[in-house]
Amino acid sequence: MQIHSVKDALLYLGGRAVSDLKNIKLTIQYDGTQYSGWQIQKNATTISGILQAQLSRITKEDVKLIGASRTDAGVHALGQTAHFLTRCKIPPQKFSYVLNSVLPKDIVVGHSCEVPLSFHSRFDTVGKTYRYLISNSLFPSPLDRNRAYHVPQKLLFHEMQEACTLFSGTHDFSAFRAAKCGAISTIKTIQRIGLTKNHETLAMDVTGDGFLYNMVRIMVGTLIDVGLGKMASDEIRRILLAKDRRRAGRTSPGHGLYLMEVFY
């Protein structure tokens, strides 16, 4: 029997004491370039697949690792979080060292610690911060390959900044989600959003209570339309109200996106 949740664990353990069952939280960084995203898939190399296999090997248990965000192929993370239940005697804070000694160099566990058995990395999140990088140089920079979305055309930065602020607050983000998004509620709150420029790199930082599937990438695709002069900045307001995916911009590529932090 796989231990997938506290309930499973209790069923499995029956009347036995749960005192030796631990819930371990990991904070994970990765360069997503070589992976088919976070979530385990058949016939594809994924970040959670690699982590879960190594954890199962280390603990000699059938570990089920659950992550806060199911990042897509090519998406990077500086602060992904995940948790798993184990009876393994390794001190919780040592899991990062043990894992980093066996993980490929593009996945690093920055921190591991014990959390209450009731903690769930995905369902307990109260917010996340994402960053999206756009490289706005004539030719793609060799040091930004797979790290930023290259847009060679001139972008109207101030118009993009203005448009950006219109996402702030609580809105129905139906127009900014992929067709296959299965979220029940499309109402989300953006607590903080901003667009900054450093030389030829534009960075959009966004913190919200939750994000629909591809929401950040569609927001960026729409901002780029504003930057290219294809769309007025205040059109964002109308797209939000229209709730029509077809009026928003294209989904910008995954390799510009970074999961920066998950809040609990």
Sites for a second copy among residues 147-176 (CB under 8 A): 147
Reduce the DSSP state of residue 52 to 3 states and report it.
Answer: helix
Kindly indicate which of the ranges 4-12, 23-31, 158-166, 179-187 contains the residues binding a second copy, using the contact rule CB under 8 A: 23-31
Task: Take residue 135 and report the two structure tokens written for it.
Answer: 């490289």
Give the separation between CA 115 and CA 257, rounded to whole angstroms.
Answer: 28
| Stretch touching a second copy by CB under 8 A, among 54-62, 120-128, 133-141, 211-219 | 133-141
By CB under 8 A, is residue 143 in contact with a second copy? yes
Query: 73 near 36, Cβ under 8 Å?
Result: yes
Query: In residues, how long is the chain?
Result: 264
CA proximity to 144, closest of 255, 32, 37, 225: 255
4: closest CA among 46, 55, 64? 64
The nearest distance, CB 29 to a second copy, in angstroms, is 5
In the complex, the smallest distance separating the C-beta of residue 105 from a second copy, rounded to whole angstroms, is 6
Which of 8, 62, 72, 124 is the catalytic position? 72
Does 207 bind a second copy (CB under 8 A)? Our answer is no
Strands 127-135 and 149-150: parallel
Q: Which is nearer to a second copy, 108 or 181 (CB)?
A: 108
Cβ atoms 128, 259 nearer than 8 A: yes
Q: What CA–CA distance (Å, rounded) separates 148 from 50?
A: 25
Instruction: Supply the DSSP symbol for 209.
Output: S
Q: Residue 128: what are its φ and ψ, rounded to 5°?
A: -145, 150
Active site residue 31: no
Q: Which is nearer to a second copy, 81 or 96 (by Cβ)?
A: 96
- Binding span for a second copy by CB under 8 A among 50-58, 84-92, 102-110, 220-228: 102-110
Question: Using the rule CB under 8 A, is 96 a contact of a second copy?
Answer: yes
92 binds a second copy (CB under 8 A): no
Residues of this chain, 223-262, that bind a second copy according to CB under 8 A: none
Among the residue ranges 3-11, 138-146, 180-188, 203-211, the one whose residues contact a second copy (CB under 8 A): 138-146
Which phi and psi angles does 58 have, rounded to 5°? -65, -45
126 in contact with a second copy (CB under 8 A):
no
Active site residues: 72
Write out the residues near a second copy by the rule CB under 8 A.
29-31, 76, 78, 96, 100, 105-110, 137-143, 145, 147
